[in-house]
Amino acid sequence: MTPLLLALALAADDGYRPLFPADGPPPGWTVRRWNDVSQPAGPDTEWAVAGGVLRPGKTRGTWLMSEAEYGDFALDFEIKLTERGNSGVALRAPLSGDPAFDGLEFQVADQRYNPQAAPSELTAGLYRAVAPTRQVYKPTEWNRVQIELCGTRLVGTVNGERVQDVDLSAFDKPVKRHDGTDAPPVKDRPRRGHIGFQHLSRNNEPVEVRNARLKAFPAADPAVRSGVPVGRRPGPYSFLLATGPQRGQQTCYICEQADKPTAVVFARTLTPELGTLLAKLDVAAASRSDGFKAWMTLLADAVDLDALAKWSQAAGLKTVPVGGYEGADGPPAYTLSRDADVTVLVFVKQKVTANVAVRRLTPEAVAEVVKAVGECK
């Protein structure tokens, strides 16, 4: 199967769409100068697809930028460079300035391009800002790159190895531009913008890209109907604790809370955003004197208590216990939707006062939960 046919087949399977589905100059894209994408590129810089492989023009120093803007998305492609190859992927970049500093650049480069490069200037680095956990780039071979951006979370995978999994809001230090001036810290970079592919290889050596495909996520996930509705009474349920003195035991905290203010978090995946939410509930539980308690129940067909305990420790949780419910549907009486990655129920005096259920946890959803907890007394 040719690269083009493979890309089309993959796109048809899982919601991705091919970025370069036909030979020739790609429509919906524009070639721009490498250090200021508000400026058009010079002669001999046109990018084009041939046989399913995207290549730049003969002259280095360009970005191929999308005309469309994207906020949250998954990007998947293969890339091959020469021994002195240098490329990168622009993420959420404006069509002005340098994508590496005014948006984000996920770097792709052969180490021989710059033997003195810092770790954040090598493949999978967020250029000059965030280094990858390790190097798995294969010189002069095809390398598969997968990038997912959801809110402030970025996950980067190269050749099947996850080498970036970061909360962009945590990086608050300015980054030096090539001229020595300060670029905005990563936390202040745009949350929506253009994507692009760079050609900066030495001696105008080519960059090759194939099987490029993208899946855009909704700009804002609509609420999901999941869990006990507001005004209803949450019934008792037991789950297996992974932390605290009752670790390994089935426990029913709802039975203990009675009329006291409570927040219970049901989650399906362990994400940095979930850790942020639980850390905020941890602070609330430690500072209140009205008996407020919060806990998290992971919904899974099989629960790994050791892994869950390690995740809790990494999140810095002290007072919020975590555990698991073996069964992805959760307690039957709670009618938890599988479409909801996180469902939070806040209740007091045995009545739900707030129900926050989302397909993915965003900073806005975290703020909504924190507000509801503050009002639950």
The domains of the chain, with CATH numbers, are 3-216 (2.60.120.560), 239-375 (3.40.30.10)
Residue 48 φ/ψ region, left for φ over 0, alpha for ψ in the -120 to 50 degree band, beta for the rest: beta
d(CA 300, CA 269): 9
Contacts of 246 (CB under 8 A, 6+ apart): 321
DSSP state of 327: S
Rounded Cα distance between 29 and 337, Å, is 39
Q: pLDDT tens digits for the chain (377 residues)?
A: 444 444 444 444 468 999 999 999 999 999 999 999 999 998 999 999 999 999 999 999 999 999 999 999 999 999 999 999 999 999 999 999 999 999 999 999 999 999 999 999 999 999 999 999 999 999 999 999 999 998 888 999 999 999 999 989 889 999 999 999 999 999 999 988 999 999 999 999 999 999 999 999 865 555 678 999 999 999 999 999 999 999 999 999 998 888 999 999 999 989 888 999 999 999 999 999 999 999 999 998 888 999 999 999 999 999 999 999 999 899 999 999 988 889 999 999 989 999 999 888 888 889 999 999 999 88
In one-letter notation, the amino acid at residue 136 is V
